[in-house]
Structure formats: C-alpha cells, structure tokens
Amino acid sequence: MENHNHEAKTNQNYLCNSLPQVLVLEPPPVFKFHGDQLSKRFHFLKAWESPLPLHQYLTIHSQSVQALLSSGRNPITSEIIQLLPSLGIIVTPSAGLNHIDLQECRRRQISIVTAGTLYSEDVADLAVGLLIDVFRKISTADRYVRHGLWASQPDYQFPLGSKLGGKQVGIVGLGSIGLNVAKRLEAFGCNILYNSRQKRPSIPYPYYSDVCDLAAHCDVLIICCGLTDETRHMINKEVLLALGKEGVIINVGRGPIIDEKEMVECLVQGDIAGAGLDVFENEPCVPKELVQLDNVVLSPHKAVHSEETLMALCDLVVGNFEAFFSKKPLLTPLVDY
C-alpha cells in the first residue's frame, strides 16, 4: 500500500510538472466553479496557499513563471513584475485594468489578455436591474412584505415609485457595456445621452464633453467607464448636485470613480433621490449610511458573475493560455496600452 501511494504521488507530481505553469496570487471567481477543468490543462502555482511571504515565494519560482492569472483584486505591481523575469503574459478576468502596472508591462513587453466584451451584457443587465429597483422600490417593497408590515399596517400607503419610460439617462463611458445599457434602456423608452473620452461620430445620442453638464441634463447617471487617474472621483459633489434632487446614480464601473463620501452626504441630505451600486470605494467595506437608506440598492460587485459567463470565461482563459504556450495569436489581447 505504501509503494502504491508513493507511485501515485510520483505520477501526480510528474503530471503537474509536465503541464505549463501558471502563477495565481489570489483565486479568481472562475476557480470556484471551474477550477478542476482549468487544473487539467495547467499547473497552477497557488501563492495564497504558501506560508512564505509573497516576495520569497515569487523569488523561488521566478525563473519558471511565464504566465500569470490575475483575480482582478490583487494588485500586479511593478515590484511583483520585476520579481518574475520570465513573465510573458498576464491574463485578467477583470473588466478593469487599474490593478495592473501597465507601464511596467509595456516596458517589459508583457502581453495582457482581458475578458474582452465577454461581460458587457451581464453588466448592462445588472445596471438596468439596479435602476428599475431604485425607481420602483423593489427591494424596499420586498423588505416591507417580508417584515409583515403589509399585513400589520393596512392603512399605510407604500411610497410611490417612478416609471422608467421617458427618463433622460446619461451614460458615462460608452464602450461595449455602455452601448449595451443604452440598447436596453431605449427599449424602455428612455432618452440616452452620453459622456466619453471623445465623441463617437457613428453614435446618434447627444454627446456631452463635460460630465457635470451631462448630469444637469439627466434624470439618471449610469457609470460604465473604467477607473483611471482621470476618472478617479470624477463624480463629485458638483456633479451630484447638478444631477439634482430627483436624480438617481447607478455605478457598475469602479467604486472610486465616485467620491463616495460626497455621494453619501448627498443621499443623506436628499440632494439626490437614490442610488444603485455594485461597486464601492473600499470594498468590501460599505458605509453604514448606505446600508440604512431605503433609496439605495446594494450589490456585492457581482455584475459580471453569471453561470453562463463564468463558463465562457473558463474557455477564454484556457484558449488564451494555450495560444501563449503554443506561440499562437492570443484570443483577446489588450492592444495599444
């Protein structure tokens, strides 16, 4: 029996060593659901399972690591990249790239692979879902019924919601996600306006180069852009006050795009009417004021997570790594970064 166990362990080690090695600093969501499938194709160096300090662990594996799978949460800093001289590719399932030192990757000519437009429909669905929830008070009504208030307060008039049709909706960031949001809201009879880095000649919606000006012409502001130095705290008190007391803000981009402290203050004081938030400035910490407000709908940064999309993501991760290790063109490379 002892010989059999030793032989099985030896075979397992041989199989792992024969597979291409991929470094993972922190488990991405796709691991939870499709980790077994991924592990049949690659040998994952799971840094989070090691008792060693990260820099020491990376130093030990520095020469063998050619590929890295990012969770999107753990920063891929220049210090980490410099500890991996053989690194040639970073695959990130995240919709954003603010966690990766792009300048260092560019200097080292490291390929970056993203999920492309894989998440666009899921994120757009959630953005519209949050908006409908805020306008029609679905979560508030759910709590009202579950807590027995409907039966115990028969004379109470539940607060009226607002209809979605006819609203002026400003989309900040008209990329793939923003366009999918616009397509869905047009079907509800909304009027679409947008702000982006530049005007898109092929897009018929009114363009506003200044986000504060956009907010002043809108009932709703939906944040779909990425987080950069330019967009950090772009949605500040001035923008929120321009949106107005009847205005609603939805964020499916990144938390720090909104100055969260100023947004909380505006919500508490009634300077805006409500918010639907999938992302926050200091995740997973959510300001207690937001939790206590009935006009705010909260989601734990899950806009991109559906069964179908995670399965497609698994295929995309496998396809990109296989292309890299076989020296074939990558499926979804980030270009011109």
Question: What kind of fold does domain 2-118+307-325 have according to CATH?
Answer: Rossmann fold (3.40.50)
Residue type, 170: G
Q: Does residue 48 or residue 2 have the better pLDDT?
A: 48
Is the predicted pLDDT of residue 8 greater than 80, yes or no? Answer: no
Looking at residue 337, its pLDDT comes to 75
Q: Specify which residues 296 forms β-bridges with.
A: 275
Query: Do 2-118+307-325 and 120-298 agree at the fold level?
Result: yes
75-91 mean pLDDT: 96
11-24 mean pLDDT: 68
Distance (Å, rounded) from C-alpha 226 to C-alpha 230? 10
Looking at residue 116, its pLDDT comes to 87
Task: Please report how many Cα atoms fall inside a 13 Å half-sphere around the Cα of residue 63, on the Cβ side.
Answer: 1
Distance (Å, rounded) from C-alpha 335 to C-alpha 113? 9
| Domain coordinates in residue numbering, the chain | 2-118+307-325, 120-298
Closest CA to 43 of 59, 64, 28: 64
Residue type, 13: N
Closest CA to 190 of 104, 131, 145: 131
Residue type, 118: L
Annotated catalytic residues are: 254, 283, 301
Looking at residue 17, its pLDDT comes to 58
How far is residue 331 from each of residues 27, 315, 319, measured CA to CA in Å?
22, 11, 7
**In what helix (H) or strand (E) does residue 6 lie, and over which residues does it extend?**
helix 2-18
Other Cβ atoms closer than 10 A to 198:
7
Distance (Å, rounded) from C-alpha 72 to C-alpha 227? 13
- pTM value is 0.87
Superfamily (CATH H level) for 120-298:
NAD(P)-binding Rossmann-like Domain (3.40.50.720)
